[in-house]
Amino acid sequence: MNDFVLNIDGYEGPIEVLLDLAKKQKVDLKHISILELADQYSNFVKDKIKNTNLTTVADFLVIASWLTYLKSRLLLPEKKNNEIPASTLAENLREQLIKLDEMRKAGTKILSRPQLNKDFFKNGLEKNTFIETKYTFDCSLYDLLKNIVDVDTRKKIKNFKLNLKKMYSVEEALQNLKKVFELNNDEWISLDSLVKNNETDNLIRKSFTASHFTASLELVKKGDVNIRQHAAFAPIYLKKRAVKK
């Protein structure tokens, strides 16, 4: 359903992997070694991702290459330029992992609370006689936004279809060519001459030419028509083939 959710060993994303690996270092997250983490992570990626489709692991690989870059910068003497110092990047990563760890614990804590309809219950009564129920219609901002997106999308699709209608399909071109050859069966006709002179829209002219060209190749294949062109980009001529007795 969702292309972005990847389950490798139950992980939903690289940051979760990083957090678990960092915890394996068995030190306070504040003091984890980013160098070690980079190695741990690249081993994880090598190990788990070997047989997985490349496009689905893009997220994991991006982090892997970033970590390799960070590692190399941490190992080399820092250059004096405008780049953010590697030590700051490492510190940011530590902080992020700490925050994620906190939020994971907080989430577990929330979910471990008593939950309505699981651990505690409302009154089972559905209706009560002395309550006069008045219905008011309700709509949340989210409902509203969801629907405007929906309308907007539909509008776009509709416009797109409208444009399509003007295009010529190969089927139409075949019908058209058949009519032309019913009336004219012994002269070479240029493909360009079939385009309506009053058609000024360039896109439609192109569509007409393309579909009629494809259709004429189809007729040639079937043996109904001969086709001829003197040179590349020269006009293309068509002529009905005489019916053999």
Partner 1 sequence: MINDKNNCLKIIEAILFANSDLVDEKDLIKNIPRNFDLKKLLKELKEFYKSRGINIYNVKSKWGFRTSPDMSNFLKIEKNLKRKLSKAAVETLAIIAYYQPVTKGEIEKVRARNISQGTVDILIERGWVELKGRRKTPGKPLTWGTTDKFLEHFNLTDLKELPTIKEINQLGIEKK
Q: Which residues bind partner 1 (CB under 8 A)?
A: 1-2, 4-5, 12-16, 59, 96, 99-111, 113-126, 128, 130-155, 158
Which residues does 24 contact at the CB level (< 8 Å), separation at least 6?
A: 40
Give 71's contacts (C-beta < 8 A, 6+ positions apart).
Answer: 34, 35, 38, 39
**Residue (106 or 217) nearer to partner 1, CB:** 106
Output the smallest distance, CB 155 to partner 1, in A.
6
Residue 39: phi and psi, rounded to 5, are -65, -45
Dist CA 245 CA 84 (whole Å): 85
Q: How many CB atoms lie within 10 A of CB 51?
A: 5
- Closest CB to partner 1 among residues 82, 133: 133
For residues 91 and 126, give the distance between their C-alpha atoms in angstroms, rounded to a whole number: 56
Closest approach, Cβ 23 to partner 1, in A, equals 10
Q: Residue 144 or residue 234: which is nearer to partner 1 going by CB?
A: 144
The residue among 137 and 233 lying less far from partner 1, judged by its C-beta, is 137
Minimal distance, residue 166 CB to partner 1, in Å: 19
Cβ at position 57, least distance to partner 1 in Å: 13
| Closer residue to partner 1 in complex, CB, 13/174 | 13
Phi, psi angles (nearest 5°) of residue 227: -130, 150
Angle at 24 between CA 20 and CA 25, to 5 degrees: 125
CB of 164 to partner 1, least distance (A): 16
Q: Which residues are registered as beta bridge partners of 190?
A: 237
The nearer residue to partner 1, 119 or 186, going by C-beta atoms, is 119
Radius of gyration in angstroms for the set of CA atoms belonging to the chain, rounded to a whole number: 34
CB of 86 to partner 1, least distance (A): 18
Query: 116 - beta bridge partners?
Result: 120
